[in-house]
């Protein structure tokens, strides 16, 4: 049976991930605390504080592959994030405090290429800074992931895709037929709105941050497209946990 194999959130967009066992999904909202913050760079053109903005305004793995090796842990009680990276000592900070914001920028700057726009500040919006202009949940089919691994003849971490819900028990590429349909995931219902077009971030190893796999070439050569995974929008709230069943309902 198709089911949720893993749940992941990314407290800071493109800056680490953490595994969860259970989440409560709410209508019209991202996965709780997913992409709650993003790192604006010096060339960012942000219209208003607290508003969603496109990914081009932020530091991300497509431009700074070392960021892909970050791991994160968010403590909602203290509103602190702990980041770890193989090239840096761990850092725990409150992203909403100006002095901690500055500490974070100093810490993360060495992980960003000097020829790229430098990170300058953490920003937050009234919704997650996903790549979509609507609050989305990203879904990844692990069987499709296995197909990409087989094409490359290379083991890949599913975390390269930076998904929220990793699904098992499906046929490869089943998710491509879900666009425009509704699926039930645990107690929640999601409307699948669009596929996810992939970028260079997926070419980087999540342990080292080095680009070591031509994931984009594999998608194009193997299947004639650059999409992997789908974005869903929560239309009915509910609890989702690891092993929750998944099915198309409409």
pLDDT digits (tens, 9 = 90+) for 155-170: 999 999 999 999 999 9
Instruction: Output the DSSP codes for 141-197.
Output: EHHHHHHHHHHHTS---GGGG--SEEEES--TTGGGGGTT-EEEETTEEEEEEEEEE
* Rounded (10°) CA dihedral 70, 46, 51, 116: -10
CA dist 158 and 202 (Å) reads 9
Residue 135 pLDDT: 98
Does one domain contain both 112 and 216? no
Mean pLDDT of the 193-218 span: 98
Residues 51 and 154 in one domain: no
Same domain, 51 and 118: yes
At residue 49, does pLDDT exceed 80? no
**To the nearest whole number, what is the mean pLDDT of the chain?**
97
At 133 the pLDDT is 95
CB atoms closer than 10 angstroms to residue 49: 8
Do 45 and 151 sit in the same domain of this protein? no
Give the per-residue pLDDT at 8.
98
Q: How far apart are the C-alpha atoms of 86 and 21, rounded to whole Å?
A: 25
The mean pLDDT of 204-228, rounded to a whole number, is 98
Closest CA to 39 of 9, 54, 60: 60
Nearest by Cα to 201 from 72, 65, 87: 65
Using the Cα atoms of residue 58, residue 61, residue 66 and residue 72 in order, give the sign of their dihedral: positive
* Same-domain status, 172 and 227: yes
Predicted confidence (pLDDT) at residue 144 exceeds the cutoff of 80: yes
* Range(s) of the domain holding residue 78: 37-124
Rounded CA separation 70/93 (Å): 15
Q: How many domains does the chain have?
A: 2
> Hey, which residues does 168 pair with through a beta bridge?
3
Q: Can you give the three-state secondary structure of 68-83, one letter per residue?
A: HHCEEEEECCCCEEEE
Indicate if 150 and 218 belong to the same structural domain. Answer: yes
In a shared domain, residues 74 and 179: no
Whether 162 and 209 share a structural domain: yes
pLDDT at residue 250, rounded to an integer: 82
């Amino acid at each position: 049976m198709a089911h949720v194999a893993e749940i992941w959130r990314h407290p800071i967009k493109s800056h680490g991930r953490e595994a969860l066992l259970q989440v409560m999904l709410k209508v019209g909202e991202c996965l709780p605390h997913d992409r709650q913050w993003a790192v604006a760079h010096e060339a960012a053109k942000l219209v208003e504080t607290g508003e969603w903005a496109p990914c081009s305004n932020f530091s991300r793995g497509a431009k700074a592959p070392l960021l892909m090796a970050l791991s994160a842990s968010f403590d909602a009680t203290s509103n602190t994030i702990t980041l770890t990276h193989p090239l840096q000592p761990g850092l725990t900070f409150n992203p909403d405090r100006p002095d901690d914001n500055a500490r974070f920028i100093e810490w993360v700057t060495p992980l960003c290429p000097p020829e790229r726009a430098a990170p300058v500040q953490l920003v937050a919006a009234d919704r997650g800074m996903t790549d979509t202009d609507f609050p989305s949940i990203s879904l990844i089919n692990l069987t499709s992931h296995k197909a990409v691994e087989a094409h490359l003849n290379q083991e890949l971490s599913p975390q390269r895709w930076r998904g929220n819900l990793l699904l098992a028990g499906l046929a490869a590429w089943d998710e491509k037929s879900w666009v425009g349909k509704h699926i039930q995931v645990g107690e929640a219902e999601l409307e699948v709105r669009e596929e996810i077009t992939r970028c260079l971030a997926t070419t980087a190893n999540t342990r080292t941050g080095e680009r070591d796999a031509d994931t984009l070439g594999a998608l194009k050569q193997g299947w004639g497209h650059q999409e992997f995974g789908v974005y869903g929008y929560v239309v009915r709230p509910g609890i989702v946990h690891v092993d929750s069943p998944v099915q198309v309902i409409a």
